[in-house]
């Protein structure tokens, strides 16, 4: 019988050379970490897209854990004193529009790697008055959550009539919700007013 590992079990044993892998076994995919030519299986999934998403998530986690912080060159940094850097697309935000539309603005498309005509998951938390945008391949979501998917139009907006009805989002028409929190993996972004 094959032993399956957790990330918490493996992290103390790993270094920056560890990478995620996925392999086919019969009609399922086994996802895990390869380290020093040894495979440490962690999960099994049925769909190739799920396997790809999990490999990407594990690799992002490993990259974050073992990333080296570059040393700051104080002489070079002193040349930049007084300068202000402004992102070219602005802060990621959601604008609540008319006719059940949410407009994705700023750097949100890049931040979540969203392209027009792709599907995203959108949720609303009425207690916090906050939106969540999640990639459908995120390992954090259940199949029930994946049903909350909406397609991004070529105009970078999302029509979500059911969400508007459920939470009476018309009351927020004309308001902007800004990116407040994001997961390390980049799969989840929370937007607040």
Q: What is the pLDDT of residues 95-104, one digit of tens each?
A: 999 999 999 9
Is residue 60 located within the same domain as residue 97? no
Torsion over CA of 75, 80, 81 and 83, rounded to 10 degrees?
180
b/e code 91-119 from CB counts within 10 Å (16+ = b) = ebbbbbbeebbbbbbbbbbebbebeeeee
Statement to judge: residues 139 and 50 lie in one domain: no
What pairing do the DSSP bridges indicate for beta strands 101-105 and 119-125? unpaired
Provide the residue range defining the domain that includes 158.
93-192
Regarding whether 57 and 107 lie in a shared domain, the answer is: no
Q: Say yes or no: 129 and 55 in one domain.
A: no
Residue that is last in its domain, among 66, 84, 101? 66
Q: Are residues 97 and 57 in the same domain?
A: no
Q: Which pair of tokens denotes residue 93?
A: 């935000």
pLDDT tens, position by position, 42-96: 989 888 878 888 888 888 888 888 877 677 778 887 888 888 766 556 678 899 9
Same structural domain for residues 176 and 99? yes
Nearest to 65 by CA among 193, 191, 186, 185: 185
Q: Look at the chain and report how many structural domains it folds into.
A: 2
How do the residues of the chain divide into helix, strand and coil, expressed in percent and rounded to 5? Answer: 25, 30, 40
Is residue 86 domain-resident? no
Same-domain check for residues 97 and 164: yes
Range with lowest mean pLDDT among 32-36, 140-144, 152-156, 170-174: 140-144
CA atoms within 13 A on the CB side of 71: 3
Task: Specify whether the backbone of 178 is left (phi greater than 0), alpha (psi in -120 to 50) or beta.
Answer: beta
Question: Has residue 47 been placed in a domain?
Answer: yes
Residue 1 maps to a domain: no
**Are 115 and 187 contained in the same domain?**
yes
* pTM of the predicted structure, to 2 decimals: 0.55
154 and 106 in one domain?
Answer: yes
Q: Which of 31, 48, 66 is the last residue of a domain?
A: 66
18: in domain: yes
Domain co-membership, 59 together with 105: no
Question: Which two tokens mark 57?
Answer: 């998530």
Instruction: For residue 116, tell me if it sits in a domain.
Output: yes
Quick check: 170 pLDDT over 90?
A: yes
Least confident of 16-20, 86-90, 136-140: 86-90
Mean pLDDT of 19-30: 88
pLDDT at residue 86, as a whole number = 66
Asked whether the CA dihedral 150, 89, 181, 19 is positive or negative, the reply is positive
Report the alpha-carbon distance of residue 105 to residue 135 in Å, rounded.
17
Residue 81 inside a domain? The answer is no
Please check whether residues 38 and 123 belong to one and the same domain.
no
Q: Tell me, yes or no, whether 149 lies in a domain.
A: yes
Q: Cα(7)–Cα(13) distance, rounded to whole angstroms?
A: 10
Would you say 79 and 72 are in contact if contact means Cβ atoms under 8 Å apart?
A: no
In a domain? residue 79: no
Radius of gyration of the chain (CA): 20
* Residues 166, 119 within the same domain: yes
Asked if pLDDT for residue 158 goes beyond 90, the answer is yes
């Amino acid at each position: 019988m094959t032993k399956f590992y957790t990330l918490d079990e493996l992290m103390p044993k790993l270094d920056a050379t560890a990478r995620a892998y996925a392999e086919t076994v019969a009609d399922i995919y086994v996802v895990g970490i390869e380290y020093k030519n040894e495979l440490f299986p962690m999960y099994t999934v049925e769909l190739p897209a799920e396997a790809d998403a999990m490999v990407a998530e594990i690799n992002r986690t490993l990259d974050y854990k073992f990333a080296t912080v570059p040393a700051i060159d104080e002489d070079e940094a002193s040349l930049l004193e007084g300068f202000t850097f402004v992102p070219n697309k602005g802060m990621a935000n959601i604008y609540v529009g008319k006719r059940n539309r949410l407009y994705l603005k700023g750097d949100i498309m890049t931040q979540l790697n969203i392209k027009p005509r792709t599907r995203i998951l959108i949720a609303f938390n009425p207690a916090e008055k906050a939106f969540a945008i999640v990639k459908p391949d995120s390992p954090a979501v259940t199949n029930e959550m994946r049903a909350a998917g909406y397609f991004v139009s070529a105009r970078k907006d999302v029509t979500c009539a059911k969400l508007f009805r459920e939470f009476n989002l018309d009351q927020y028409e004309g308001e902007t919700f800004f990116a407040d929190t994001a997961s390390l993996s980049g799969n989840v972004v929370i937007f607040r007013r």
